[in-house]
């Protein structure tokens, strides 16, 4: 069934030819966008929806989350707010709870968080394993995540589990664990950070994943300067995520590469880290994405609108830059921004994902921070909210 969405006051397409349109309309036909243009020239469709001058943009593309978990880390958060520094080792608390939970609990939690995100306009979600850290638990996480999420990433190299030797664990990740998880995932990731995995260990994990045919992602440069960005660019990773502490060389390296710098501002606020220098990255020509990093320890939010508002108000991004980073940028980080069924963009042939704001322009996302502005959401041509 085709649907004509008309009465669009401002349409953000992220398409280089279409640009931003005023008084626009979009036709959805099944799971694809069938037509985009001026409302006065819109063709007929089976159903007509007038959004009354509201702004429409692509659905948010959240390219970095950790939604497959059990347990609660409010005590850690409270301690951090009282002055205790964030450390990577807090992940172990979630690992213990996740291992103890049965499949039904993990699936229920995942579905609740995905539904929460979709109600706020997120139509494409990546999520990771990484709270199991045994072969059986990582495979279980990947299998459950693959039944719900758009993209799944293997993050066996999230932390060396308690009682394990680092080198032996890396061998496990690169061997049996990778082989068993690979059928359920498209990507592999590594937490290249002090307290997690060093450069040599990270390189070994990434090269093994690459040899297994998986795309690469990297957690890098979160807690301080380090080799994460350099390693990601060297190995052709699709994205390096966090990028909180960058040198000039890191910025230039990203600008000269196809690797997306995925910024996670909600995490930096929650861990009381400095916010990434988005302005330096954009001005240098690097591709930037914004993502929620929704997880129970360091960024327990699924609100991409919050990330956009933070990027504008505190990271010196323009509204247009932040919206593009949270849609097209995330899609680019997942290599889903082009071709049939592309996400993060509104053009003929793209997936029919629309986010209708209860506002006349995307500027209101930062102009009215914290105000729920999602009017309705379409995913694959079906209205969700």
Question: According to the model, what pLDDT value does residue 171 have?
Answer: 98
Q: Does residue 141 contact residue 132 with C-beta atoms inside 8 Å?
A: yes
Coil vs helix vs strand at 112: helix
347 is known to lie in a ligand binding site: no
64 is known to lie in a ligand binding site: yes
293 is known to lie in a ligand binding site: yes
- Smallest CA-to-CA distance from 62 within 344, 339, 349, 282 is with 344
> Is 27's pLDDT higher than 80?
yes
What gap in Å lies between CA 67 and CA 15, rounded to an integer? 30
The residue among 326 and 76 whose pLDDT is bigger is: 326
User: For residue 99, what are the CA distances in angstroms to 69, 174, 344?
Assistant: 9, 21, 34
219 is known to lie in a ligand binding site: yes
- Smallest CA-to-CA distance from 304 within 265, 268, 272 is with 265
131 is known to lie in a ligand binding site: yes
Phi/psi of residue 168, nearest 5 degrees: -65, -40
Q: Does residue 273 contact residue 310 with C-beta atoms inside 8 Å?
A: no
> Is 121's pLDDT higher than 90?
yes
Question: Tens digits of per-residue pLDDT, 172-199?
Answer: 999 999 999 999 999 999 999 988 999 9
Share of the chain above pLDDT 90, in %: 95
169 is known to lie in a ligand binding site: no
> Is 89's pLDDT higher than 70?
no
If pLDDT is split at 50, 70 and 90, which confidence band does 88 have? low
Radius of gyration of the chain, Cα coordinates, nearest whole angstrom: 20
- Rounded average pLDDT over 224-232: 97
Share of the chain above pLDDT 70, in %: 99
> Is 87's pLDDT higher than 90?
no
Coil vs helix vs strand at 40: helix
Question: According to the model, what pLDDT value does residue 91 have?
Answer: 86
298 is known to lie in a ligand binding site: yes
């Amino acid at each position: 069934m085709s649907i004509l969405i008309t009465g669009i006051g401002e349409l953000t397409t992220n398409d280089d030819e279409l640009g931003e349109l005023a008084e626009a309309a979009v036709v959805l036909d099944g799971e694809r966008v069938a037509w985009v243009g001026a409302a006065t020239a819109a063709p007929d469709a089976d159903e007509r929806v007038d959004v009354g001058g509201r702004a429409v943009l692509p659905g948010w593309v959240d390219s970095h989350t950790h939604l497959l978990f059990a347990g609660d880390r409010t005590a850690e958060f409270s301690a951090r707010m009282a002055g205790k520094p964030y450390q990577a080792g807090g992940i172990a608390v979630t690992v213990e709870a996740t291992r103890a939970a049965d499949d039904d609990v993990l699936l229920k939690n995942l579905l609740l968080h995905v539904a929460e995100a979709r109600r706020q306009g997120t139509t494409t979600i990546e999520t990771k394993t990484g709270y199991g850290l045994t072969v059986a638990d990582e495979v279980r996480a990947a299998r459950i995540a693959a039944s719900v999420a758009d993209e799944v990433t293997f993050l066996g190299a999230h932390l060396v589990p308690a009682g394990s030797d680092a080198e032996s664990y890396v061998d496990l990740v690169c061997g049996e664990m990778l082989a068993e998880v690979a059928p359920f995932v498209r990507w592999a990731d590594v937490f290249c950070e002090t307290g997690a995995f060093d450069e040599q260990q990270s390189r070994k994990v990434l090269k093994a994943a690459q040899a297994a045919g998986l795309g690469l992602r990297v957690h890098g440069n979160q807690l301080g300067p380090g080799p994460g960005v350099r390693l990601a660019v060297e190995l052709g990773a699709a994205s390096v995520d966090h990028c909180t502490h960058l040198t000039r060389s890191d910025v230039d390296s990203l600008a000269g590469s196809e690797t997306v710098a995925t910024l996670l501002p909600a995490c930096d606020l929650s861990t009381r880290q400095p916010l990434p220098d988005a302005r330096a990255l954009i001005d240098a020509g690097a591709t930037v994405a914004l993502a929620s990093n929704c997880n129970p320890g360091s960024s327990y939010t699924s609100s991409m609108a919050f990330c956009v508002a933070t990027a504008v108000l505190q990271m010196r991004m323009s509204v247009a830059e932040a919206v593009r980073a949270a849609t097209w940028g995330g899609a680019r980080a997942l290599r889903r921004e082009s071709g049939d069924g592309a996400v993060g963009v509104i053009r003929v042939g793209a997936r029919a994902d629309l986010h209708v704001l209860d506002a006349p322009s995307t500027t209101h996302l930062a102009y009215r921070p914290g105000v729920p502005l999602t009017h309705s959401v379409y995913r694959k041509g079906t209205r969700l909210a």
